[in-house]
């Protein structure tokens, strides 16, 4: 990375910084952080404990502190804000955009939260925050900031620019000026480029663009992300149910949504139950992983009970046992593939998506093609290496049936989960693998039972 700053995060610097903290060497801390981007200071402070962070904060300007606070990792921040008085926190929150301030307030208990809001001097800011706290965190209302620049349709461009001047302190990034009527209904926007290039005397009404895309406060964050991606927007105005302009969502917040959703999906798919990272404690990582492992283990025990019914078959034809891993692994692989394709299409909704029945029909054909190819290969291999025809037939037919069954389960499970409001990515995780294992074994030994006349 090429950057104008000379500061670089490194393990050496972190150690030197730790030493400075231990010695309360405020001169070193101040000088080494001078001019450093707050996002970098955040990344550094993520590595220290709440008390140490507090010491550093007290050496920095409130403006820098507020920016660092926005960027800290959530689990670090939750501990950290306990170190501050309500008055301190109110001062930081006043320096933030209302959406970032709301994020901080969400992390506090209701009593503490109200105390901080009471300490905020700017009354408009306080009422903005109270309004934003009313929305769920995962809808447009919970993502938006109140800070935006709006202009009345009847204004001139110079009035517009005067408004920007008035609000400049509050609005970090402008992008567009939103155009409203006297009742605050959103009508359109004036791009920043047109504002610079427009003649000072012309009216907003003459140059504004009435093709504006907006969302309602209740729109889900996934839909907000999809709309901003589709139309390449860096900011999206939010209106209430009556069409009044109430806020604005910026692209940086949506990128966080996209990243968080991808991480949640991965966690569900790989069976790590809560938000863990490599640098968490051994106990936290173990606990996050244990629930899924126990589900898998219980599945394995049920499988063992179940195979117990076929004890006689296994004693007579022990080779049947040899192919248990092939059957369970194939069922698992097919199930994960199928569910992953469905999860992908649920995540990128397409109005032209096939109906449930068409989907299942297609999945059925794909399963027949893949099942047939795999079965023929396995049949050939078993004949070739083991020269046992009934065994080859059993394994081949069972494999074909398992591929069909696992495709069906892998397709239907995410659709059902999605219908009942559960994240469909769960269907690609250890849960579906365990289910497919059991179903696959049932099919396999039932077919063996018939073919061997046992």
Site for its own copies in 353-372 (CB under 8 A): 353-354, 359, 362, 365-366, 369-370
- Count of C-beta atoms within a 10 Å radius of residue 328: 22
- Count of C-beta atoms within a 10 Å radius of residue 409: 20
Total residues contacting its own copies by CB under 8 A comes to 136
216 contributes a contact to its own copies by CB under 8 A = yes
Q: Which stretch binds its own copies (CB under 8 A): 26-34, 112-120, 194-202, 414-422?
A: 194-202
Nearest in space to 445 (alpha carbons), one of 323, 301, 336, 296:
323
Span 435-454, contacts to its own copies by CB under 8 A: 437, 441
Cβ-based nearer residue to its own copies, 93 or 307? 307
Q: How far is the CB of 110 from its own copies (least distance, A)?
A: 29
Span 326-345, contacts to its own copies by CB under 8 A: 326-330, 332-334, 336-337, 339-345
433 contributes a contact to its own copies by CB under 8 A = yes
Contacting residues for 440 by C-beta, under 8 A, at least 6 apart: 327, 328, 330, 331, 398, 402, 405, 406
Residue from the set 121, 182, 210, 420 that interacts with its own copies by CB under 8 A: 210
- Contact assessment for residue 211 and residue 231, using Cβ atoms and an 8 Å cutoff: no
Residue from the set 64, 156, 214, 413 that interacts with its own copies by CB under 8 A: 214
300 contributes a contact to its own copies by CB under 8 A = yes
**Integer CA distances (angstroms), 139 to 71, 218, 275, in order:** 21, 6, 21
Cα–Cα distance between 406 and 377 in angstroms, integer? 19
Q: What backbone phi and psi angles, to 5 degrees, belong to 182?
A: -65, -20
Q: What backbone phi and psi angles, to 5 degrees, belong to 142?
A: -85, -15
Cα–Cα distance between 144 and 103 in angstroms, integer? 11
200 contributes a contact to its own copies by CB under 8 A = no
Residue from the set 108, 133, 153, 258 that interacts with its own copies by CB under 8 A: 258
Q: What is the pattern of x (binds its own copies, CB under 8 A) and - over residues 11-50? A: x--x--------------------x-x-x---x---x---
Q: How far is the CB of 219 from its own copies (least distance, A)?
A: 7
Cα–Cα distance between 315 and 333 in angstroms, integer? 29
Cα–Cα distance between 371 and 31 in angstroms, integer? 67
381 contributes a contact to its own copies by CB under 8 A = yes
199 contributes a contact to its own copies by CB under 8 A = no
193 contributes a contact to its own copies by CB under 8 A = yes
Q: How far is the CB of 216 from its own copies (least distance, A)?
A: 5
- Count of C-beta atoms within a 10 Å radius of residue 61: 9
Cβ-based nearer residue to its own copies, 81 or 186? 186
Q: Which stretch binds its own copies (CB under 8 A): 22-30, 126-134, 253-261, 414-422?
A: 253-261
- Indicate the helix (H) or strand (E) that contains 248: strand 245-250
293 contributes a contact to its own copies by CB under 8 A = yes
């Amino acid at each position: 990375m090429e950057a104008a700053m000379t500061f670089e995060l490194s393990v050496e610097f972190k150690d030197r910084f730790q030493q400075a903290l231990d010695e309360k060497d405020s001169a070193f801390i101040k000088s080494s952080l001078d001019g450093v981007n707050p996002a970098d200071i955040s990344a550094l402070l993520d590595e220290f404990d709440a008390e140490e962070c507090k010491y550093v904060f007290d050496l920095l300007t409130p403006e820098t502190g507020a920016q660092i606070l926005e960027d800290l990792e959530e689990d670090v921040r939750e501990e950290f804000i306990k170190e501050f008085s309500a008055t301190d926190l109110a001062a930081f929150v006043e320096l933030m955009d209302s959406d970032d301030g709301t994020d901080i307030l969400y992390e506090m208990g209701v009593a503490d939260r109200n105390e901080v809001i009471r300490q905020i001097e700017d009354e408009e800011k306080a009422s903005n925050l109270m309004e934003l706290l009313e929305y769920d965190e995962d809808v447009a209302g919970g993502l938006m900031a109140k800070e935006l620049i709006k202009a009345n349709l009847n204004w001139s461009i110079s009035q517009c620019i005067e408004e920007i001047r008035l609000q400049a302190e509050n609005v970090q990034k402008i992008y567009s000026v939103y155009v409203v009527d006297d009742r605050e209904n959103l009508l359109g926007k004036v791009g920043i480029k047109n504002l610079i290039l427009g003649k000072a005397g012309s009216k907003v009404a003459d140059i504004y663009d009435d093709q504006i895309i907006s969302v309602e406060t209740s729109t889900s964050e996934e839909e907000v992300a999809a709309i901003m991606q589709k139309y390449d927007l860096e900011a999206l105005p939010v209106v209430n149910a009556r069409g009044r302009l109430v806020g604005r969502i910026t692209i940086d917040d949506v990128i966080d949504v996209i990243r968080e959703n991808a991480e949640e999906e991965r966690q569900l798919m790989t069976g790590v139950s809560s938000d863990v990272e490599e640098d968490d404690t051994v106990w936290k990582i173990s606990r996050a992983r244990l629930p899924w492992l126990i589900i898998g283990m219980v599945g394995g025990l049920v499988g063992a009970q179940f195979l117990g019914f076929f004890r006689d078959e296994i004693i007579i034809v022990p080779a049947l046992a040899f192919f248990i891993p092939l059957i369970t692994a194939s069922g698992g692989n097919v199930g994960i593939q199928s569910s992953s394709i469905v999860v992908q299409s649920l995540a990128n909704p397409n109005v032209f998506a096939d109906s449930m029945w068409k989907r299942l029909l297609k999945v059925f054909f794909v399963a027949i093609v893949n099942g047939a190819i795999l079965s023929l290969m396995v049949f050939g291999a078993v004949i070739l290496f083991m020269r046992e025809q009934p065994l080859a037939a059993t394994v081949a037919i069972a494999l074909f049936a398992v591929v069909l069954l696992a495709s069906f389960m892998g397709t239907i499970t995410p659709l059902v989960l999605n219908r009942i409001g559960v994240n469909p990515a769960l269907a690609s995780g250890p849960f579906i693998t365990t289910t497919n294992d059991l179903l696959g074994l049932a099919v396999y030994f039932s077919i063996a039972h018939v073919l061997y006349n046992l």
